[in-house]
C-alpha cells in the first residue's frame, strides 16, 4: 500500500456541497419561469454545473491522472452521437406522424382529480 | 512503486497518457484495482442510464398527444391544518415540492459521503461509520419518499405504464422505468453502505488505507449524479 489516497482539505467539500444546494435551488426555481429558450438553458446549464461539481470534486476526478480521466470521460462522448441521431430521427418521426395522422391534439383542460377513499 | 500518482507537469497530457497505457505495468498508477473496477462499472451504468434518457427524450419529441406537465403531476399542497390546528386559509399548492425535497435529501447524502471518505483517509473510523450511516439513512429517506410518490401516482392519479388520464400514454412507462431503475440503485447503495460501514466498524479494513470508503463513495456519488439528470430532463423539462 504505497498509495497516499485522495486526501484533500474539508473546506473544498463544504464549498461544493453548498454550491450544489444553490445550483439545485436555482434549477428548481426555473419551474416558476415561462417555457422557452431561457428556461431550457437554465435547466441545462445548472444540470451540467451540478454534474461537473460532483464528478470533479466529490468523485475526485480533478486529482486523477489523465490515463484514468480519459478512460472514463471519453467513452461517454459516443453517447453524444446517439443523442444527435435520435434528435434528428425524432423530428422526422414527429413530422411523419403529423403528415399522416393529422395535427397534434391541443392540450385539454385537466379534469378534476378523482380521489378514491 | 515510486511517486507515480502526481500528474507530471513537464510532459504533455498525451505523452503521459500514452506512457501509462503502454508501460506494460499498472495502467492506472496509484489507483487501487477496486477503484478502477468501480469506475469501469460506473461507465457501463452511464451507458444504461443514457440509453433510458435518450429513448425517453426521443419518445417525448415524437408523441403527438400532449405530454403530461410534470410540474402539475408532481405538485403537492402544503396543508392548511395539522392535527386540527389551522394555520393557513387554504392549502398552498407547490409544484414539484416532493421532488425538490428528494433532491435536497440526496445532495445532503452526497455531502455526508464525501466527508466520510475524508474521515477514512484520516483513519478516523468512528467518523466514517457515523457519516456512512447518516448517508445510508438519507438514502433510505429518499427511497421512502419515492415509494410515497409512486403510490400517489398509481392510486390517486391513476397513472399506469400503459395509460394515464393526463395525456401521452408513454409518460407512465418512462416514469416507472427511469425512476424505478434509479430507485433500485439507491436501494442497493443503502445496503452497500450499511455493509461497508459495519465492516469498517468491525476493523475489517484496519490494515488498508480505507480506499474502500472512497470506492463506496464513488458509487453513491454516481447515484446522485444520475438524479441530477433525471431531475433536469424528466421533472423540470
State pLDDT tens for residues B127-161.
999 999 999 999 999 999 999 999 999 998 888 99
Residue B149, number of CB atoms within 10 A of its CB: 18
Q: Residue by residue, what is the 3-state secondary structure of chain B?
A: CCCCCCCCCCCCHHHHHHHHHHCCCCCCCCCCHHHHHHHHHHHHHHHHHHHHHHHHHHHHHHCCCCCCCHHHHCCEEECCEECCEECCCCCEEECCHHHHHHHHHHHHHHHHHHHHHHHHHCCCHHHHHHHHHHHHHHHHHHHHHHHHHHHHHHHHCCCECCECCCCCCHHHHHHHHHHHHHHHHHHHHHHHHHHHHHHHHCCCCCCCCCHHHHHHHHHHHHHHHHHHHHHHHHHHC
Q: What is the CATH number of the domain that holds B136?
A: 1.20.120.80
**CA-based nearest distance A2→chain B, Å:** 7
Among chain A residues, CA nearest to B59: A90
Is beta strand B92-94 parallel, antiparallel or unpaired with respect to B76-78?
antiparallel
Residues 6+ apart with CB under 8 A from B127: B115, B116, B119
- Residues recorded for chain B: 237
Asked, for residue A47, whether it belongs to a domain, the answer is: yes
DSSP A58: I
Number of inter-chain CB pairs under 8 A, A vs B: 184
State the total domains in chain A: 1
Asked, for residue B200, whether it belongs to a domain, the answer is: yes
Between A108 and B190, residue with greater pLDDT: B190
Asked, for residue B106, whether it belongs to a domain, the answer is: yes
**CA-based nearest distance A35→chain B, Å:** 9
Asked, for residue B11, whether it belongs to a domain, the answer is: no
> Percentage of chain A with pLDDT > 90?
49
Asked, for residue B3, whether it belongs to a domain, the answer is: no
Asked, for residue B190, whether it belongs to a domain, the answer is: yes
Instruction: Tell me the angle at which helices B211-230 and A37-53 cross, rounded to the nearest 10 degrees.
Output: 180
Q: Residue by residue, what is the 3-state secondary structure of B96-159?
A: CHHHHHHHHHHHHHHHHHHHHHHHHHCCCHHHHHHHHHHHHHHHHHHHHHHHHHHHHHHHHCCC
Asked, for residue A49, whether it belongs to a domain, the answer is: yes
Asked, for residue A74, whether it belongs to a domain, the answer is: no
Residues spanned by the domain of A16: 10-66
State the total domains in chain B: 1
Asked, for residue B206, whether it belongs to a domain, the answer is: yes
Residues 6+ apart with CB under 8 A from B74: B95, B96, B97, B98, B99, B149, B235
Residues spanned by the domain of B138: 31-75+94-236
Asked, for residue B8, whether it belongs to a domain, the answer is: no
The pTM for the full model equals 0.86
Asked, for residue A117, whether it belongs to a domain, the answer is: no
Residues 6+ apart with CB under 8 A from B99: B74, B149, B231, B235
Mutate to test the interface with A, among B228, B229, B231 (most CBs of A within 10 A): B228
CB contact (8 A) between residue B232 and residue A43: yes
Residues of A in contact with B157 (CB under 8 A): 113
Residue A49 has pLDDT above 90, yes or no: yes
Asked, for residue A34, whether it belongs to a domain, the answer is: yes
Q: Which three cell numbers stand for residue A103?
A: 395535427
pLDDT tier, A2 (very low <50, low <70, confident <90, very high otherwise): very low
Asked, for residue B202, whether it belongs to a domain, the answer is: yes
CA atoms within 13 A on the CB side of B120: 30
- Model confidence pLDDT, tens digit, residues B15-59: 888 888 888 788 888 888 899 999 999 999 999 999 999 999 999
Q: What's the ipTM?
A: 0.84
Residues 6+ apart with CB under 8 A from B194: B133, B136
Asked, for residue A61, whether it belongs to a domain, the answer is: yes
pLDDT tier, B234 (very low <50, low <70, confident <90, very high otherwise): very high
- Model confidence pLDDT, tens digit, residues B197-233: 999 999 999 898 899 999 999 999 999 999 999 999 9
Among chain A residues, CA nearest to B118: A7
CB contact (8 A) between residue B110 and residue A54: yes
Find the farthest-apart pair of alpha carbons in chain A and give their distance in angstroms, rounded.
68
Amino acid at each position: 500500500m504505497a498509495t497516499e489516497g485522495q486526501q484533500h482539505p474539508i473546506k473544498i467539500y463544504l464549498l461544493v456541497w453548498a454550491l450544489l444546494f444553490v445550483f439545485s435551488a436555482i434549477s428548481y426555481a426555473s419551474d416558476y419561469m415561462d417555457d422557452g429558450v431561457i428556461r431550457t438553458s437554465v435547466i441545462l446549464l445548472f444540470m451540467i454545473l451540478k454534474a461537473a461539481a460532483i464528478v470533479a470534486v466529490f468523485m475526485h476526478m480533478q486529482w486523477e491522472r489523465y490515463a484514468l480521466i480519459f478512460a472514463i470521460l471519453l467513452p461517454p462522448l459516443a453517447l453524444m452521437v446517439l443523442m444527435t441521431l435520435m434528435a434528428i430521427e425524432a423530428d422526422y418521426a414527429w413530422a411523419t406522424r403529423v403528415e399522416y395522422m393529422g395535427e397534434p391534439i391541443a392540450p385539454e383542460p385537466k379534469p378534476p382529480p378523482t380521489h378514491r377513499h | 512503486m515510486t511517486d507515480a500518482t502526481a500528474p507530471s507537469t513537464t510532459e504533455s497530457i498525451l505523452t503521459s497518457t500514452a506512457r501509462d497505457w503502454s508501460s506494460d505495468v499498472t495502467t492506472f498508477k496509484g489507483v487501487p484495482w477496486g477503484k478502477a473496477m468501480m469506475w469501469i462499472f460506473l461507465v457501463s451504468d452511464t451507458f444504461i442510464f443514457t440509453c433510458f434518457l435518450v429513448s425517453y427524450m426521443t419518445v417525448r419529441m415524437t408523441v403527438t398527444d400532449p405530454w403530461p406537465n410534470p410540474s402539475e403531476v408532481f405538485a403537492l399542497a402544503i396543508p392548511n391544518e395539522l392535527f386540527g390546528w389551522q394555520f393557513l386559509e387554504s392549502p398552498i399548492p407547490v409544484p414539484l415540492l416532493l421532488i425538490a425535497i428528494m433532491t435536497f435529501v440526496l445532495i445532503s447524502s452526497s455531502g455526508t459521503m464525501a466527508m466520510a471518505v475524508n474521515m477514512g483517509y484520516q483513519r478516523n473510523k468512528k467518523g466514517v461509520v457515523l457519516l456512512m450511516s447518516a448517508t445510508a439513512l438519507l438514502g433510505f429517506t429518499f427511497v421512502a419518499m419515492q415509494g410515497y410518490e409512486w403510490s400517489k401516482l398509481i392510486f390517486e392519479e391513476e397513472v399506469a405504464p400503459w395509460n394515464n388520464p393526463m395525456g401521452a400514454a408513454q409518460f407512465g412507462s418512462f416514469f416507472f422505468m427511469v425512476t424505478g431503475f434509479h430507485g433500485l440503485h439507491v436501494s442497493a447503495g443503502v445496503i452497500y453502505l450499511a455493509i461497508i460501514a459495519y465492516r469498517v466498524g468491525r476493523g475489517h479494513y484496519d490494515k488498508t488505507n480505507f480506499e474502500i470508503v472512497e470506492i463506496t463513495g464513488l458509487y453513491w456519488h454516481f447515484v446522485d449524479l444520475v438524479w441530477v439528470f433525471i431531475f433536469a430532463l424528466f421533472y423540470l423539462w
